[in-house]
Amino acid sequence: MPQATLVTAAGVSPTALRVDWVATTDANTWWVIVTSPNDRSVGQRTACGTCRSIVVDHLAPGSNYFVRVVAVDEASAFGPFAIAVGTTPPAAGCELTPSGSVCATVDTRAAAGDATGAGVGSLHGIDALTADARVAAIDPSAWRLAALDYERFHEARTHGGAITLILSDPWMNATQKQAPWANWDFYEWWIGAVVDGHILRGAVPEYWEVQNEPSPSDYVGGDPATPELVFEQHRRAAAVIRTRLPDAAVIGPSSGYVRFGSGFDDAQGFLERAAATGMDLSGLSWHEIGASCLGWCDGGPRAVLQHADDARAAIAAAGLRDVELHVNEWGAPWNFRQPGAAVGYLSSLAYAGIDIANPACWDTAETGTSLSTCFARPGMLDGLLLADGATPTDAFHAHETYADMTGPEFSLVESTIADAEASVLSTVDPAGVIRVLIGRHTGCQTDLDEHCPGLAYAAARAVRTVLLTAAADGTSYTATVERIPSVAGALAAPTLLATRTLGVAGGRLDVGSYTMGDGSALSITLVPTGAPIAPTTTATTTGPTTTVPPTTAPPTTAPPTTASPTTVTPTTAPTTTTTRRARR
């Protein structure tokens, strides 16, 4: 197996490292793995076998990283690892951040694309008993449902958003996982019958998904499963669908873990076969569900950004065009109800420009027995609601806040946070209202995050947010700051930390510093007041420092703030009217 040597990693911008290495022989592919100082994965790129350099983008400013380069063969076996240390330079605007604090910047001068709201939706988790008001509050942009599940289809359709139907769910149930190639004629007839049924019932989706998470164990009978046979399954299914619906959008391969150039679920090979056969692939789909390794390998929320870079490179290399990116499951079993992790994934999906994305659903033991958040009745929106289908969790409020700051009328603006295991998202609406959402997602907390095996949250950190703006000095904003804590059970509402009027000074607006526990989220809304004020100097505030709220009695109302900002008395939010994104 080839080996990289003399690895170097140099910061080329506050959010990028250039990685170079030497190797005497070429590899099948190289993986460039980036980890935080505590060695948790925060990024990964795939480089061509002849490559000896790559730039890894979407990193945190002013941060130290371990960088490993390893050869990966076609079966996904690793060669020897070579390691280097790299540091990104700090971001502009963070010069006055106190030592020990984390600086988050929001640059309203730098547009970063449309804030489409990708990522909010559900995998199966709705029925007629799900509280309509809760569904409306998160304004889903996408649904992913089993084909032939007409009840959930029509319920989802009433709430808006694109629908993807999974063909493999009813196929595997009806045939006990029979391999389609064991009888191609029967498989093609069955696909046609399912599509005909959906046309007859007026239940035609925006997207058809042929197979969920293809793996050798999912195919019984016929020849042993191979990537070539799985692609042929997709090609034949797409051809049958388009005999009925010529403009139908077909996506694949919906792999449980995305790889390029190696493994059974090789996305690069799938794209190359699509190009070679002339298959019209509408979307490349994969899952971001933690890679089964609790963040110690390539599977954290920020990994979505580099995976999207790899996906676009592979699409271009295959000579394909107009292929959408679908992350049709996101969220790991140990953080699917964690607000900080939800913000991490949603931020990455937004800045990566993912077209369609759905949360994953996992089992919960909240009722004392194992309960599927996918198929429970009432529908739980994949665990955003408790088992009654109405009571919100902490993660629900992260989704709701994201929904309130994204949509057709909103624009993304560049934002960074100097913490490799945190994420930030910022948008602006036509009225000039700026919204910022920050999440910390180092890990998980046993007895708070389900499926978390014996781990604990990292220590709380103070996060200072600085707005970079072209607005004139004295331009004023009303700033409202709220915390979404990580709690077990219900959370009625976020905690209001402060409302105050701030002024721009020297092209910057200092929102202040607030303590964030791991797993929590912080929401900041800045509403232009229209009245100039003197430039503001903002005092540091702390807020609660408890990193793990009590779990013995889940709060039914927002928990109190144990330490209010030192110069600001919490008050009610302003009544200024702001834009809310339109339902699709």
The span from the CA of 190 to the CA of 581, in Å, is 40
What's the pLDDT score for residue 561? 33
| Burial class, 313, CB count within 10 angstroms (exposed 0-12 / middle 13-18 / buried 19+) | middle
Token duo for residue 29: 């592919």
Residue 421 counted as domain residue: yes
Q: Are 212 and 319 in a shared domain? A: yes
Length of the chain: 584
Helix/strand/coil for 192? helix
212/288 same-domain check: yes
Residue ranges of the alpha helices (H) in 288-355? 303-317, 339-351
Helix axes 184-200, 168-175, angle to 10 degrees: 120
What CATH number is associated with residue 334? Answer: 3.20.20.80
CB contact at 8 A, 379 and 126: yes
CATH of the domain at 472: 2.60.40.1180
Claim to verify: residue 155 and residue 280 sit in the same structural domain: yes
Answer yes or no: is 354 within a domain: yes
Is there a contact between 179 and 223 (Cβ–Cβ < 8 Å)?
yes
Q: Is residue 277 part of a domain?
A: yes
**Does 389 fall in a domain?**
no
Residues 299 and 184 in one domain: yes
In this structure, the answer to whether residues 70 and 154 fall within a common structural domain is no
CA angle 547, 445, 511 (to 5 degrees): 35
Say whether both 343 and 432 belong to one domain.
no
Residue 324 lies in a domain: yes
Whether residue 280 is contained in a domain is answered as: yes
**Residue at 408 is within a domain:** no
For the stretch 501-552, pLDDT in tens is: 999 999 999 999 999 999 999 999 999 997 677 665 544 444 433 333 323 3
What residues make up the domain containing 451? 101-112+414-528
In a domain? residue 516 = yes
Q: Rounded to an integer, what distance in angstroms lies between the CA atom of residue 445 and that of residue 516?
A: 15
Indicate whether 39 and 159 sit together in one domain. Answer: no
Same domain, 290 and 352: yes
Phi/psi for 304 (5° steps) reads -55, -35
- Whole-angstrom distance between the N-terminal and C-terminal Cα of the chain? 51
Rounded-to-integer distance, Cα 101 and Cα 228, Å: 51
**Helix locations, 38-161, DSSP H:** 132-138, 150-159
Q: How many domains does the chain have?
A: 3
Question: Are 478 and 421 contained in the same domain?
Answer: yes
Instruction: Identify the H or E element spanning 418.
Output: none
Same domain, 354 and 419: no
End residue of a domain, out of 496, 528, 560: 528
Q: Decide if 502 contacts 529 (C-beta within 8 A).
A: no
- Chain centre to alpha carbon of residue 74: 28
* Rounded distance between C-alpha atoms, residue 254 and residue 251, angstroms: 8
CATH of the domain at 62: 2.60.40.10
74 and 203 share one domain: no
Backbone angles phi, psi at 186, to 5 degrees: -65, -40
- Phi, psi angle pair for 150, to nearest 5°: -70, -35
In a shared domain, residues 237 and 353: yes
CA distance 489 to 63: 34
Low-confidence ranges of the chain (pLDDT < 70): 295, 531, 534-584
CB contact at 8 A, 91 and 105: yes
Task: Output the pLDDT for position 42.
Answer: 87
**Taking CA 441 as the corner, what is the angle to CA 312 and CA 464, rounded to the nearest 5 degrees?**
100
